[in-house]
Amino acid sequence: MADHSIQYHHHGRFKVLGGVLPDAVTAYQTYGDRSNPCIVFPTCYGAKLGLGSQSYLVGENKALDPTRYFVVTFALFCNGESSSPSNTPAPYNGPYFPAISYEDNIRAQYAVLQHLGVTRVLCVVGFSMGGQQAYHWAAVYPDFVDKFVAICSSARTSPHNICFLEGPKAALKAARDFENGHYTSPPQVGIRAFARAYSAWAYGQTWFRQHLYRMDGLYPTLESFLCEAWEGRFVTNWDANDMLALLETWQRGDISIVRDGGDFAGSLRAIKAKALIMPCKTDLYFCPEDSVNEVSQLRDAELAVIDSVWGHAAGGGANAADVAFITTKIHEFLA
């Protein structure tokens, strides 16, 4: 049976977009028996394996049931668990960490699966940056993946999305304690500013209008919600250089630069895997119109819009109703 503890695969010298990592490390977890069909479930922005970020879909009777599938969860480079600015020794520590692409992550994850003896992947499932990895899996290894599920995500980071990300990035980099990434203690001013700028787009406008941030009285004011749910989470769990490096991986996401020299429509048409694309109708990060366009160009794709006021957070386990909808759709897709 699989070991649920976090494991670490050492790749040795590993070429990445911005240069090389002398000893690249990929953190991962496994669930279920290796003889079962394999499902890959990589992390999104703000997610860590050690925080249980993947647990809303992984577990018995959940969308990804370890009694039926061999589930492998992967930590993105730069998330603080796999190779990141915060855990890489000199000369590639902190602000000197090389640029990372989605393709770098997929090649590393593929190496881990080879180590585990996986010869084929039934499905790659991902939310947000995880969904972008699912698209890249289908583009980088077209004959290795049968299906993929992209939840509140896209095959290419849109100009609108890139522009939004410039806001929290600028807030962090301009903070008086960030020191161009050479800080010697956590730059709380910058991290808190980043968290506030980032949070404003995480939920739909209707969600805020209905004051759902109060969470049934848990947060009496919007200020308490921002301070505890957002500032607190990032200050407690994240390194500032990791946050920036991971965000820049998100910004440069584009399956068309992997194999087809910028031909986005051609890259979509070339994908062989069957796809389930699930945008949320109120998502301000990955707008549903982009998903409609992508589905129209994929060979074999189903569109299932999450009808929710929770915006981008609808796809990440923020509330039970949306998780139930996602779970049902994944069960139907995998059946």
Per DSSP, the residues of 53-81 read TTTTTBSTTSSB-TTTSEEEEEPPTTSSS
- Quick: pLDDT tens for 308-328: 999 999 999 999 999 999 999
Q: What is the DSSP string of 226-251?
A: IIIIIIHHHHHH--HHHHHHHHHHHH
Give mean pLDDT, residues 243-257: 97
Residue 2 lies in a domain: no
Alpha carbons 308 and 305: distance in angstroms, whole number: 9
Q: Are residues 140 and 289 in the same domain?
A: yes
Sorting pLDDT into bands at 50, 70 and 90, what band is 260? Answer: low
Q: Are strands 301-303 and 274-278 parallel, antiparallel or unpaired?
A: parallel
Last residue of a domain, one of 248, 269, 284: 248
Residue 146 a catalytic site member: no
Q: Are residues 314 and 244 in the same domain?
A: no
Tell me which residue has tokens 């301009």: 174
Residue 242 a catalytic site member: no
Q: Are residues 266 and 180 in the same domain?
A: no
Q: Are residues 148 and 180 in the same domain?
A: no
Reported as type and span, the H/E element at residue 205 is helix 205-209
User: Is the per-residue pLDDT at 255 higher than 70?
Assistant: yes
**What CATH number does the domain containing 194 carry?**
1.10.1740
**What CATH number does the domain containing 132 carry?**
3.40.50.1820
User: Is the per-residue pLDDT at 2 higher than 90?
Assistant: no
Query: Which pLDDT belongs to residue 1?
Result: 44
Residue 128 a catalytic site member: yes
Active-site residue, from 82, 154, 312, 322: 312
Q: Are residues 153 and 295 in the same domain?
A: yes
Mean pLDDT, rounded, of the chain: 96
| Residue 329: both structure tokens together | 């759709």
Domains of the chain: total: 2
Active-site residue, from 82, 86, 128, 256: 128
Q: Are residues 151 and 195 in the same domain?
A: no
DSSP state of 97: P
- Quick: pLDDT tens for 62-75: 999 999 999 999 99
User: Is the per-residue pLDDT at 259 higher than 80?
Assistant: no
Owning domain of residue 119: 7-157+254-334
- Quick: pLDDT tens for 31-87: 999 999 999 999 999 999 999 999 999 999 999 999 999 999 999 999 999 999 999
Alpha carbons 202 and 66: distance in angstroms, whole number: 30
| Residue 174: both structure tokens together | 């301009």
Asked if residues 47 and 54 have their Cβ atoms less than 8 Å apart, the reply is yes
- Quick: pLDDT tens for 113-170: 999 999 999 999 999 999 999 999 999 999 999 999 999 999 999 999 999 999 999 9
Tell me which residue has tokens 């505890």: 228
Sorting pLDDT into bands at 50, 70 and 90, what band is 176? Answer: very high
Active-site residue, from 283, 290, 291, 322: 283
In three-state secondary structure terms, 11 is strand
Alpha carbons 52 and 74: distance in angstroms, whole number: 12
Alpha carbons 164 and 300: distance in angstroms, whole number: 31
CB within 8 Å of 296: residues ≥ 6 apart: none
